[in-house]
Amino acid sequence: MRFEGRVWRHGKHWLIEVPILDVMTQGRTRKEALAMIKDAIEALVNREAFEVDVYVGKGDRFEVGSRATPPLLALLVKRQRQMHGLSLADAARRLGRTSRNTFARYEQGKTVPTVEKLAELLAAVDPEHDLVLTRSRG
Adjacency order of strands within the sheet including 53-56: 23-27, 13-18, 2-10, 61-65, 53-56
pLDDT of residue 130: 86
Contact between 107 and 81 under an 8 Å Cβ cutoff? The reply is yes
CATH of 2-65, one of 1.20.120, 1.10.3470, 3.30.1300, 3.30.160: 3.30.160
Domains 2-65 and 69-125 are alike in CATH topology: no
Q: Is the pTM of this model over 0.95?
A: no
What's the CATH code, domain 69-125? 1.10.260.40
The model's pLDDT over 23-82, given as tens digits with 9 standing for 90+, comes to 999 999 999 999 999 999 999 999 999 999 999 999 999 999 999 999 999 999 999 999
Sketch the domain layout of the chain as residue ranges: 2-65, 69-125
